[in-house]
Amino acid sequence: MRKLKYIISSVIIVSSVILMQAINHVEQIGKYVFPENTPNAPNPYVYMPDGLSYLSIGRDNKTIIKYDTKTGKELEIVFDGDKSRENRLDQLDGFELSIDGSKMLIYRNKKMIYRRSFDAEYYVFEIKRNILTRLSDDFVRQQAPMFSPDARMVAFVAENNIYIKKLDYKTEVAVTNDGKKNEIINGVPDWTYEEEFTTDVSMSWSPDNMSLCFIKYNEKDVKTYSFPLYKGACNPKVKYEYYPGDFTYKYPVAGEQNSKVTVYSYNVETRKLKNIPLSENIEYIPRISYAFSPERLIVTTLNRAQNRMEIFSVNPKSTVVKSIYVEESSTWITPETYETLKYYPEYFVINSDKTGYSHIYQYSYTGNQIRQVTSGNFEVTDFYGIDVLGNVYFQSTINGAINRAVSKIDKKGKITHLSPEMGMASAVFAPTMDFYVLNYNNVTTPPSYKVYNNKGKELRTLEDNSVYAEKYSLVPTKEFFTFSNDGIIFNGYIIKPLDFNPSKKYPIIMSQYSGPGSQEVLNRWRIDWDCYFAQQGYIVMCVDGRGTGGRGKEFEAVVYKRLGYYETIDQIAAANYAASLPYVDANRIGIYGWSYGGYEALMAVSDKNSPYAAAVAVAPVTDWRYYDSVYTERYMLTPKENEDGYDAGSPIKRAENVKCRLLLMSGTADDNVHVQNTLEYVSALQYHGVLCDMLLFPNMNHSIYHCNSRALVYAKMLDFFNRNM
C-alpha cells in the first residue's frame, strides 16, 4: 500500500510539472504566433485621384487626415467626428473614397459575415461641406456600398436586396425585392464565390451613371449546412447558455448543386431590370465590370470544370453579347487569370499561364492580342498597372521561385527592377502610377515600407520595423536548401536551434501546406511557432513538393485529379532526406499541417512508407467529398467524374493504416473546413481501433485565433510532440 501511494504521488508530481510547463509554453509561444508576431505596417491609406496626396485614419480613430505623398507632411484634417455637421461619430472603422475624391463612405460597428464580407453602419461624408449623413434611413446596416462615378448615388445591399441612395434628393430606391436569406442574393456573392473566387461584391456602375449591373445568386437548390453554436467563454453567446443554437447557410459540396447565377442591368431613369442572356454552358461568373464605356460590360465566365474561361463584352442596353476572349486548359484555369484582369480605354490586360508560365498579355476589346508583354521561364505573380509612357509594372519570380521582385518593363522589353533582386517585394501604386509604396523583406530583414517615385527614387520610409526586429533578435534563422528525388529538385528551408550542435541527434518536425499553387518556402521574414519550437530543441524543416506554386504550370498541375498522391510522395521523400542528415534522429520525425496541410499530414502518415513518429493535423479536409464544389472540382472534377481519384485521396479511407501517434484540432464553428471532417475521421480511426488525441475549440472558425487560442493550438502541439517523439 505504501508503494502504491508513492507511485500515485510521483504521478501527481510529474503531471503537475508537465502541466506547469504547458502553461508556461502558452504564455511564451503567444509572442511568436498571431496576432503578437505581426510586424508593424503603415495605417491603411487611400490615394486621392491625382496621387499627390493620400488619406488615412488618425490615431484617435475618429479623424481622417490628408498627407502629402512625397513628404508625408500632414496637409489637413479632412474629417473630424467631433466637428462634422448633421451627425457626429465617436469612432470609425474605415472609409471609402469616391472616384472623383469629393465624398467618402465612412463606416463603424463593422461586423464580419464571412472571410471577406462584412456589414456596417455607413455614412456619406461630403468633404467640402463637412456634412455627414446616414447612408440609409431604412436600414441600420449595409453591405458593399458603391459610389456611382459622379458620386451622386450609392448602390448598396441590405437583407439580400440592392438599393440605390440618390444623394441629391435624399431618396432611396429598391432595385430588387426578391432577396431572401438562403434563397436569393442580389449584388453580393454567396459563401462559395466569396471564399473561392476572392470577391465580396458583384455590382458595377456604368461610366455614364445611368445603369447598375449586378449578379443575382439563386441558391434555393443549394443544400443547407448547419453547425451548432455554444455559449463559450470567448466572446460568450449568452443566449445559447443552456440550449445550443446553430449557424445555417448554403454550402455546395463537390458534385452538388451550385447557385444559379444571372447578370442583370438596372436603368436608373426607367427603373427597369433586364436579364442579360449568356451561354447555357456557363456555371460560374467570377467577375463583372464596366470597361470605360456604358456599352461595354465585361463578364468573365467559367464552365463547371473550370478548364474553360470565356470573357464576354455585353451591351446592357441592347443585351447584345460578344465573346472577346477564350482560354482553355487541359487541367484548370489558374484563378489569377480572372482575379487580376485590368481594363483600359482601348484594351484590357490579362495574366495567363497558357504558355506554361504566367505572363502578361494585352488584348483589344475586339478580342485581338495586341502583344505579349512579358515572357520567360518565370511567373508573373501580380500586375500593378501601366503608366502614361507605356511602362508595365509587375511582380514576378524572375529571380527564382523563392523570391518576388517588383519590376517594370518598357515598350522595348527592357526590364528594370524596382526592388532588391532577392527577397519578397510587393507594391501599392498611386492611381497615376507616379508613386508607389514598396514593401520589402527577406529571411533576415523585417518588412520595410518605403515611398518611391516612378523613377525608382526613394522619397521616405513609412515603417522599417527596427524596434519589432529587436524583439526577435535571438530567434534562429531559416537556412534554404535544395534536394532532389526522382529527378526533381525541391526547395526547402530548415530552422535549427540557436545552440545547434552537429554532433547531436535532434527530433525534427516537417511543416508543410502543399496545396495547389501555394508556397511556404519563400525568402521572407516570418516569425512563427517554428522559431519557438527550435528554441525548445527541435529542428523544423519545410519542403514545397509538386503541386505548389512559383515554378510553372507543369510542376503545379501534375496533381490534377489526384490530390494527395504526389504531395505524399514528395513529403515522405523530404522526411527521408531529413533522416539522412547526421544530426537528425530518424526515429523522431513528426509532421504538421493546417487546412490543406492538415489534409496532407493525414495522407502522409497513412502511407505504407510513412516514416513519422507523430503527426498533428489542424482543421484538415479528410475527404474531398466534404469540401466545397468550386475549390475541389477545380482540381478533382466531380466525384462522379473521378471516383477513383476521390477514393485514393481520402484520408478517411486510409485511416486504418495510421501507425503513429496523432493529434487533431478543429474549431467547431469552422464555416470553411467543417469540423465534420475531423469527427468523421476520428470515427474511422475508432472503427479500426486506432488511437488519437483531439482538441476542439468551441465557436472558433478556420483560423482559431480569438482569446489567445492560436497560442493554445501550438502549445498543445508542442506538448504532444514532447510526449510522443
Question: Which residue reads 502553461 in cell numbers?
Answer: 23
CA distance 279 to 383: 29
Confidence of residue 19 (pLDDT cuts 50, 70, 90): low
Is 54 inside any structural domain? no
Provide the β-strand partners of residue 45: 56
Q: Kind and range of the H or E element at 161?
A: strand 161-166
Cα angle: 286, vertex 385, 312; to 5 degrees: 35
Q: Would you call 458 helix, strand, or coil by DSSP?
A: strand
CA distance 452 to 447: 16
Is 312 inside any structural domain? no
pLDDT of residue 6 exceeding 60, the answer is no
Q: Which of 13, 51, 14 is nearest to 452 (CA)?
A: 51
pLDDT of residue 140 exceeding 80, the answer is yes
Question: Which residue reads 483600359 in cell numbers?
Answer: 344
Is 619 inside any structural domain? yes
CA distance 155 to 135: 10
**pLDDT confidence of residue 23:** 67
**pLDDT confidence of residue 25:** 84
CA distance 189 to 164: 18
The percent of residues in the chain predicted with pLDDT above 70, rounded, is: 97
pLDDT of residue 14 exceeding 50, the answer is no
Is 267 inside any structural domain? no
pLDDT of residue 3 exceeding 60, the answer is no
pLDDT of residue 12 exceeding 70, the answer is no
Q: How many CB atoms lie within 10 A of CB 113?
A: 15
CA distance 637 to 629: 9
Q: Are 341 and 319 in contact (CB under 8 A)?
A: no
Domain with 484 in it: 14-35+474-724
**pLDDT confidence of residue 22:** 62
On whether the pTM is more than 0.85, the answer is: yes
Quote the number of domains for the chain.
Answer: 1
Confidence of residue 11 (pLDDT cuts 50, 70, 90): very low
Is 364 inside any structural domain? no
**pLDDT confidence of residue 168:** 96
pLDDT of residue 281 exceeding 90, the answer is no
Mean residue pLDDT across the chain? 96
**pLDDT confidence of residue 18:** 55
Q: Which three cell numbers stand for residue 217?
A: 445568386
Cα angle: 556, vertex 558, 564; to 5 degrees: 95
Encode pLDDT of 71-85 as tens digits. Answer: 999 999 999 999 999
pLDDT of residue 2 exceeding 90, the answer is no
Q: Would you call 136 helix, strand, or coil by DSSP?
A: coil
Is 43 inside any structural domain? no
**pLDDT confidence of residue 673:** 98
Is 584 inside any structural domain? yes
**pLDDT confidence of residue 279:** 86
Q: Are 274 and 295 in contact (CB under 8 A)?
A: no
Q: Which residues lie closer than 8 Å to 148 by C-beta, 6 or more apart?
A: 154, 155, 205, 209
pLDDT of residue 553 exceeding 70, the answer is yes
Is 508 inside any structural domain? yes
Q: Are 531 and 475 in contact (CB under 8 A)?
A: yes
Q: Which of 604, 608, 648, 606 is nearest to 625 (CA)?
A: 648
**pLDDT confidence of residue 455:** 87
**CATH number, residue 612:** 3.40.50.1820
Q: Which three cell numbers stand for residue 31?
A: 509572442
Q: Are 91 and 107 in contact (CB under 8 A)?
A: no
Encode pLDDT of 503-551 as tens digits. Answer: 999 999 999 999 999 999 999 999 999 999 999 999 999 999 999 999 9
- Exposed/middle/buried for residue 468 (C-beta within 10 Å: 0-12, 13-18, 19+): middle
**pLDDT confidence of residue 287:** 97
Encode pLDDT of 668-701 as tens digits. Answer: 999 999 999 999 999 999 999 999 999 999 999 9
SS3 per-residue string spanning 44-105: CEEECCCCCEEEEECCCCCEEEEEECCCCCEEEEEEECCCCECCCCCCCCEEEECCCCCEEE
Q: Are 182 and 248 in contact (CB under 8 A)?
A: yes
Confidence of residue 95 (pLDDT cuts 50, 70, 90): very high
